[in-house]
Each structure stands twice: as structure tokens, then as C-alpha cells.
A and B are shown apart, each in its own frame.
Chain A
Amino acid sequence: MNKNNQKITIQNLILHYSDGTESLQDISLDIPAHAITVIFGPAGGGKSSLLRVLNRLNDLVDVVKLEGEVYLDDLDVLSPKTDVIALRRRVGMVFARPVVLPMSIQENITYGLEIAGIKDDQRLEDSLEKAALWEEVKDRLDDPAVTLSGGQQQRLCLARVLALEPEVILLDEPTSGLDPISTGKVEESLQALKEDYTIVLVPHSVQQAARTADYAAFFLQGKLIEYAPGNLLFTNPQDQRTQDYVEGRFG
């Protein structure tokens, strides 16, 4: 991989929770810009934990041990001196279950803009457009966001992140609650978005991982087992465990 193209550099990252779970064990991983990097593996592998380190959402959780280094370009993400608010504007996150805020559709987007002090009316339409939702909601922007269907809600969450024009988008099983059609729409948007953004995706199935990955990292019980370009990893895995998992031999 081309070194100049790295967006996020993770070196020897270790994370333990206060209950003793060693959720990330010595992870080193370089995430390239303008590509979809997929992080996949069985439940409890540490995928969500890793994502939550990247935008410091883990600050709120009982973490007893956090070592190693994470750089976003030249920014030392884990340094206590880092401005977390500014970091989170550069690194947006979409969660497994769509969490629309208790406001109208429009306000769900403008909330983030307002707190960031951005006054740009065009961003509302642009972000909904990019999340492939504009056509469906343009006539009902003032309805409560909870009246949208699950799939629409998830795309609204994506739009909410896009409106802030972050550099990196983290998605944690964004389609786990969606039907195949909505899933298809979200995946399509992601393919279009990778031109402008760095995307880190935790897929909800191996199939989705294979469909979307430019690069894929296989996590198992807190360890990074294998990391390779998607077309290589899914067709010709180097590690036996990766192969077993990709071929569906354990879940």
C-alpha cells in the first residue's frame, strides 16, 4: 500500500475494559484514504471498540488500559491535549441501530451544523442527496424524524454525519436492521462517497464485507488476524482462521 495515502495510522493499540476484557490486543493497522476499509469478524472481536477509539467515544466508557498510538493524518488522536469535539467533526460515526434524535427530519441535520457554527443552507439538501434520501423526504422535512422507516432513518443518520463534511466516516453495522433494498441503497451511497471520504465499515455479514471491501481486516477475539486488499482476502486468505470464517465454517 502507498504510504502517502494513509489517512489513519494505528500502532500497537491495546484496549482493556474495567471488567478485565482485553478487547484489543496489540493492533497495528493503516487505513487508506478514499477507500472502504472493512473491519469484520465474529461477535466480540473488538470491531466496535476499535471504531469507538477512532473518534474517542470510548472516553465515556470504563476503559482501564489504552496504549499505543492512533494518528489521523498528523493529529495524535489519543493525546489528552487533542480537542475531542473538533476530532469528532472530522471523524463522523453511524451506529448499528439508527439513532434519530427526537426532533424533525430537518433538525436532525441542522442540529450538527448549528453546534458546529456552520451556516450553510445548501448542506441540508446536499447531505440528504448524498445519502440517497432527498427524494423521499423533501416534502416532509418538518415531520418528526421517528416517523421515517428504519431504512430511511439509517440514511438520515448518514446524512447527519455527511452534513458536517467529515474526513472519515465510521459505520458500525449500519445495515444490520435493514431490508435488502435499503441495504443496497446504503451500500450504493457508500460506493459513491468513497471518492471524497475515508470510510471504515463494520459490515453485518461476510457477504457485505466481500461486496464492499477495498481493504479488509479480519478481527478475532481482540486480535487482527489478517489485513489485505478485499479482492485478495476474500479469494485467497493467508490464514486458516480467516479462511474458515470467510467460508462460513464458524460464526
Chain B
Amino acid sequence: MDRDLNLGEMIITRLINIAGYSAIIFVGMIFYFLLREGLPTLNEVNFGNLVSNRWYPIEAYFGILPLLGGSLVITIGATLIAVPFGIGTAVYLAEIAPRWVREILKPLVEVLAGLPSVVLGFLGMLVLAPFLRKYLQLPTGLTAFTGSLLLGGMAIPTVVSVAEDAIDAVPKSYRDASLAIGATKWQTIWRVTLPAAKSGVTTAIMLGVGRAIGETMTVMMVSGNAPVLPGGIRALFKPARTMTATIAAEMGEVATGSVHYHVLFFIGMVLFLISLLINITASFVVFRQRQRQERILS
């Protein structure tokens, strides 16, 4: 009997181990494949070309800067929209809204978070883009700004949902303590509640922004798809193109093994590195905070 139990234990442990290792192996394989297909770029295209500001693959111009720039502008734009609105809404729901409002809004927000991106892109093309063109008097409504707005809007529900949980988890005693020394509700939220929920709120922002960076469909549909290096604030209101959109749009029609093909994988590598960096930074921040908390609790 004892033996049986041990055998059962062992099988389960093994299975869990295999599951764990396979996750690592898959990531490793993806990375290997990316490197294998992407690294030849460095031989085939000279470096000057790669960091130039012209993306025109048909004539062998492979400057990826405009794509990097496009991603950057749209992501920053989306973040600037998603963070204040997301956290503002989270604070409203957790601290200010009457209970019944909160009980209606919270599930609604969570439904919004699951909206498929194609649907948003579609709405963006048909409603938002014409609207922006008309009221901002632009030559086209399909601009980086349109993309930012939609991506920001997409990220908001994620930010709200995670941040609201974090704020709600702050013990009531913190608020009492702050109010008891004569702080207003607003001072308490700003100086005590939000800082106490810092690590959860950071996670919320990372998840929201992460969603914005990885998003392809919406961006491809509404940002105008022009690989132009953004210069200055005006670039926000011109068409742009992101790295993800470029890969999605061009991968289908490129000859396997061609230079263009390798460059697309190279872009994939760059994307991979960027998201890796962001993730590492985020987990570093969260990890340090957790370490501090553990030290405190022990």
C-alpha cells in the first residue's frame, strides 16, 4: 500500500515536472526559430540600411526605424490614454461610487475587457476614423492617433479591473487612520490608498500596456499603414505602421527564405526582446515590492 502511494506521488510529480519543463522548452524553441530565421538578416542586409528610415521591401529598403517609431508612438499614445482613465475609473469604482453603481459597472467593465479586437477595429474604421477626420480636419482619419485611442480604450477595462481589485484590497484601517488625522477623502485616496495599492496598480498598468503592444488587428485596421518615421507631435495625426502590423500584413506574400522574409523575422526578434525587457522590468519592480512586504510581515 505504501508503495502504491509512493508510485502515485511519483507519477504526479513527474507529470507536473514535464508540464513545467515543456513550457520552458516551447519558449526556447520559439526563440531558437526566431533567431534562425531572423539572424541571417544581419548578413544579408547591411546595418546602415536596417537602421535607415525607409521601409520599402520591394526595392530592398529595409529600414525598421519607421516601424519601431510607429509602435512607439501608438503604444505611448495608448498608455497616456489608458493609465489616467483606467486608474481614475478604478478609483471611482473602489472608493467613490455607491455600492449599486459598482455592482453594475464592475461586471460590465470585465465584459468589455473580453471584446474581440477585430470588432473594435471595425468600429474604429467605420465610426471613429470618419469622426476624427471630420472634426480634426485631417486628410485621413486612419492615423496613429486613431490607433492610440482604440488601443488605449481596449486597455482601459484591463487596467480598471485589476487596479480596482488592488485598491479594494487596501485595508479599511489605512483610510480610517488617514481620515482621523484630518485628511480629506481625496487626500486619503491620493496619498494613502493608491500608494498602498502600488504593486497591484503597477501590475494593472503592465497588463494593460502589454495588451496594447501585442495587439495587431485593431492597429492594422485603423492606423493607416504608412511606414513613416514619426517626427514630433504632429506624427500622431498622420498614418503610421507598427511592427506587429507589418509582420501580419507582409508575411503572407513573402517568399520563404528571401531577404524580406528574414527581415520580418528580425522584426519579430526585436519585438520579442522589447516585450522581454518590459516584462523583466515589471517583474523586477513587483518582485522588489514583494520582497519588502515579506520582510515586513516576517
B195 and A103: CB pair below 8 A? yes
Give the contacting residue for B176; candidates A95, A103, A147; CB below 8 A. Answer: A95
**With a CB–CB cut-off of 8 A, which chain B residues contact A60?**
175-176, 179
Complexed CA–CA distance, A160 and B178 (Å): 10
B296 at the interface (CB under 8 A from A): yes
Which of B176, B178, B179, B292 gathers the greatest number of chain A CB atoms within 10 Å? B179
Closest to A59 in B: B179
**Which residues of B are found within 8 Å of A102, using beta-carbon distances?**
174, 192, 195-196, 198
Binding stretch for chain B, among A11-19, A32-40, A86-94, A192-200: A86-94
Closest Cβ–Cβ distance, residue A224 to chain B (whole Å): 24
Complex contacts, A144 vs chain B, CB 8 Å: 292, 296
Residues in A neighbouring B198, C-beta threshold 8 A = 102
| Contact residues, B241-298 vs A (CB, 8 A) | 292, 295-296
CB neighbours of A55 from chain B (8 A): 180
When the two chains form their complex, are residues A95 and B173 in contact, meaning their CB atoms are under 8 A apart?
yes
B49 sits at the interface (CB 8 A): no
Give A101 to B178 CA distance when docked, in angstroms. Answer: 8
Q: For A88, what are the chain B residues with a Cβ–Cβ distance below 8 Å?
A: 179-182
Size class of the contact patch on chain B:
20 to 34
Other-chain contact of A89, B177, B178, B181, B191 (Cβ < 8 Å): B181
Nearest CB on B from A140, distance (A): 15
With a cutoff of 8 Å between Cβ atoms, the chain A residues found around residue B22 in the complex are: none
- Answer whether residue A75 sits at the interface, using C-beta atoms and an 8 A cutoff: no
Q: Does B184 contact A (CB under 8 A)?
A: yes
Min CB–CB distance A50 → chain B (angstroms): 15
- Give chain B residues whose Cβ lies under 8 Å from the Cβ of A99: 171, 173-174, 176-177
Give residues 164-201 of B contacting A (CB, 8 Å).
171, 173-184, 187, 191-192, 195-196, 198
Q: Across the interface, do B187 and A95 meet the contact criterion of CB distance under 8 Å?
A: no
In the complex, are the beta carbons of A160 and B179 less than 8 A apart?
A: no
Q: Is the CB–CB distance between A95 and B177 below 8 Å?
A: yes
19 contacts between A and B (CB under 8 A): A55-B180, A57-B176, A60-B175, A60-B179, A88-B179, A88-B181, A88-B182, A92-B181, A93-B180, A95-B177, A102-B174, A103-B195, A111-B183, A115-B181, A115-B191, A144-B292, A146-B296, A157-B177, A161-B180
Task: Report B's interface with A, CB cutoff 8 A.
Answer: 171, 173-184, 187, 191-192, 195-196, 198, 292, 295-296
